[in-house]
């Protein structure tokens, strides 16, 4: 019997290979990785409680390797092929993001591991967008773009062969996995030779800079690779000192005692020299980004986040107070602290047992006794409003098209050839399963029924 190389190991190989490739393609990425490494080490040193908590929750190991990337695809066939490629690495489509609301003609999902053990091993994720030519007003241009896209093949023959092998065998051997990773990498590489002439490129830019980025090249070059920091404010402040110029505003929630969801900032990385069928030109495609991840919110917590953010943005748009002030003011009412958020059902936790406890009356009592520990679950996904801000900052603020909200999850899933998983269900399952296991270990099964997460 053949033994297969574990998908988690394939994913780790791949994310490392991708990081190495991006470091040579975009030198500022290397600077950023070093900066994040320094800030994370300093943060852990200055906060022994945080260090102890992350270690106990088995979260320290993943931190140094943790990255997300982003790609933009042109056709339904490309999306379904990429789904099969990521499945070999144990990454599955989670969540649906409609970016048309923000004037960006794409809809997206995140390919990521879904099992708790896989996430702890290496949570590598790729924010994957599919171009929506149906939203392009100039139908002749949309048709031309479709024709151009229909001619490209974004996955090498070697990668396709390994995907098929993995599907028919049920996995890859170690040497097949190495071949697969080397071949898969080619899909995401930058190509300076455009597939279109300068005139076509300019027409596409005219319709939307993003359309030009997707249609003019041989494949879906990885457009950023983002490390996770424990202190985004410190990184943001330090970036200019290392020659990096971040966007003005950090997307997402404000700084809090207990971080929630996701805070992100980005910077323009490169103006690329491009050859448009013999003619020299340039294009901006790749950028840098950093993020800080906090606890995942329940549907109740998320609804509160969405309305609070909306209020902050409405206030900021009046132009009377700086954005940061409006954000902090709006979020002042949002319960802070892990335990308080847990009691109010605002955030998702993962439970574990420590020691033993006499028969208890409630989960809260067990937690107070120290026998039951509630670790905050890391938010593993993305935020549509933040993603829109990231797209806009690197596409150029002048690039504004007004598409109206036009979610079409059915069309996306048809293109994908699969359903996307609901992220809330994943967090709820980890919470419920861990609680059942911990209560069973503590001999407190009478508390299980009372406490199922919604």
Judged by CB under 6 A, which stretch of 28-36, 336-344, 379-387, 419-427 contacts ligand OOG?
Answer: 379-387
Instruction: Evaluate the CA torsion angle 142, 148, 154, 160 in order and state its sign.
Output: positive
Site for Ni ion, residues 214 to 253, rule: CB under 5 A: 226
Give the per-residue contact string, 61-100, with Ni ion (x = CB under 5 A; - = no).
---------x------------------------------
Closest distance to ligand OOG from the beta carbon of 129 (Å): 5
Burial of 136 (0-12, 13-18, 19+ CB in 10 A): buried
Measured between alpha carbons, how far is residue 175 from residues 10, 85, 188, 214, 390 in Å? 11, 17, 21, 33, 38
DSSP notation for 262-320: EEEEEEE--PEEEEETTEEEEE---EEEEEEE-BPBPHHHHHHHHHHHHHHHHHHHTTS
Q: Which is nearer to Ni ion, 112 or 338 (CB)?
A: 112
The sheet that has 92-98: what strands, in order across it?
92-98, 106-112, 125-131, 67-73, 224-227
Closest distance to ligand OOG from the beta carbon of 384 (Å): 8
Among 351, 391, 412, 427, binds ligand OOG (CB under 6 A): 391
Place of tokens 């098209």: 401
103 neighbors 208 (Cβ within 8 angstroms): no
Closest distance to ligand OOG from the beta carbon of 110 (Å): 9
307 neighbors 320 (Cβ within 8 angstroms): no
Among 100, 183, 195, 264, binds ligand OOG (CB under 6 A): 264
Token pair belonging to 93: 């489509």
Q: Which is nearer to ligand OOG, 353 or 383 (CB)?
A: 383
75 neighbors 150 (Cβ within 8 angstroms): yes
Token pair belonging to 34: 């070093």
Closest distance to Ni ion from the beta carbon of 70 (Å): 5
Site for ligand OOG, residues 50 to 79, rule: CB under 6 A: 70, 72
Closest distance to Ni ion from the beta carbon of 412 (Å): 19
96 binds ligand OOG (CB under 6 A): no
Closest distance to ligand OOG from the beta carbon of 106 (Å): 8
213 neighbors 282 (Cβ within 8 angstroms): no
382 binds ligand OOG (CB under 6 A): yes
Judged by CB under 6 A, which stretch of 6-14, 187-195, 338-346, 385-393 contacts ligand OOG?
Answer: 385-393
Q: Which is nearer to ligand OOG, 117 or 405 (CB)?
A: 405
Among 129, 195, 236, 393, binds ligand OOG (CB under 6 A): 129
Token pair belonging to 131: 């171009």
Closest distance to ligand OOG from the beta carbon of 131 (Å): 11
195 binds ligand OOG (CB under 6 A): no
β-strand pairing of 262-268 with 287-293:
antiparallel
What is the number of the residue whose Cβ is closest to Ni ion?
289
**Cα–Cα dist 306/270, whole Å:** 33
155 neighbors 187 (Cβ within 8 angstroms): yes
DSSP notation for 220-238: ----EEEEB-S-HHHHHHH
Closest distance to ligand OOG from the beta carbon of 168 (Å): 32
Closest distance to Ni ion from the beta carbon of 127 (Å): 6
Token pair belonging to 402: 């007004």
Partner whose footprint covers residue 223, from Ni ion, ligand OOG, none (CB < 5 to 8 Å by kind): ligand OOG
What is the number of the residue whose Cβ is closest to ligand OOG?
387
Q: Residues binding ligand OOG: what is the number (CB under 6 A)?
A: 12
Which stretches of the chain bind ligand OOG, using CB under 6 A? 70, 72, 127, 129, 223, 264, 289, 382, 386-387, 390-391
């Amino acid at each position: 019997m053949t033994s297969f190389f574990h998908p988690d190991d394939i994913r780790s190989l791949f994310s490392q290979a991708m990081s190495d490739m991006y470091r040579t393609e975009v030198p500022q990425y290397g600077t950023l990785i070093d900066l994040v490494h320094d800030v994370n080490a300093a943060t852990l040193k200055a906060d022994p409680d945080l260090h102890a908590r992350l270690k106990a929750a088995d979260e320290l190991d993943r931190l140094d390797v943790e990255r997300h990337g982003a790609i933009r695809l042109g056709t339904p066939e490309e999306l379904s092929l990429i789904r099969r490629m990521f499945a070999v690495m144990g990454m599955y489509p989670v969540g649906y993001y409609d970016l048309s609301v923000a004037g960006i003609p794409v809809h997206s999902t995140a390919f990521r591991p879904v099992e708790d053990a896989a996430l702890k091993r290496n949570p590598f994720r790729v924010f994957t967008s599919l171009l929506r030519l149906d939203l392009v007003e100039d139908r002749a241009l949309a048709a031309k773009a479709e024709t151009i896209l229909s001619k490209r093949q974004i996955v090498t023959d070697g990668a396709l062969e390994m995907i098929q092998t993995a599907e028919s065998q049920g996995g890859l051997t170690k040497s097949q996995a190495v071949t697969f990773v080397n071949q898969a990498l080619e899909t995401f590489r930058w190509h300076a030779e455009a597939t279109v002439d300068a005139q076509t490129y300019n027409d596409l830019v005219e319709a939307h800079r993003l359309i030009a980025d997707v249609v003019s090249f041989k494949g879906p070059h990885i457009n950023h690779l983002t490390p996770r920091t424990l202190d985004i404010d410190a990184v943001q402040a330090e970036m200019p000192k290392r020659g990096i110029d971040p966007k003005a505003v950090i997307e997402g929630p404000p700084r809090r005692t207990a971080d929630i969801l996701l805070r992100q900032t980005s910077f323009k990385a490169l103006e690329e020299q491009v050859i448009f069928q013999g003619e020299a030109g340039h294009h901006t495609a790749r950028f840098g980004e950093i993020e800080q991840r906090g606890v995942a919110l329940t549907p109740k917590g998320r609804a509160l986040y969405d309305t609070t953010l909306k209020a902050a943005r409405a206030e900021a748009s009046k132009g009377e107070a700086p954005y940061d002030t409006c954000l902090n003011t709006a979020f002042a009412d949002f319960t802070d602290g892990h335990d308080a958020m847990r009691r109010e059902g605002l955030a998702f936790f993962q439970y574990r047992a420590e020691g033993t406890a006499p028969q208890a009356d409630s989960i809260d009592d067990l937690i107070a006794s120290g026998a039951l520990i509630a670790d905050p679950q890391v938010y593993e996904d993305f935020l549509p409003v933040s993603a829109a801000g990231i797209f806009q900052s690197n596409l150029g603020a002048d690039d504004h098209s007004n598409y109206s909200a036009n979610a079409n999850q059915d069309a996306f899933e048809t293109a994908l050839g699969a359903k996307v998983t609901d992220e809330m269900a994943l967090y709820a399952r980890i919470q419920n399963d861990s609680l059942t296991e911990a209560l069973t270990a503590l001999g407190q099964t009478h508390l299980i029924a009372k406490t199922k997460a919604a």
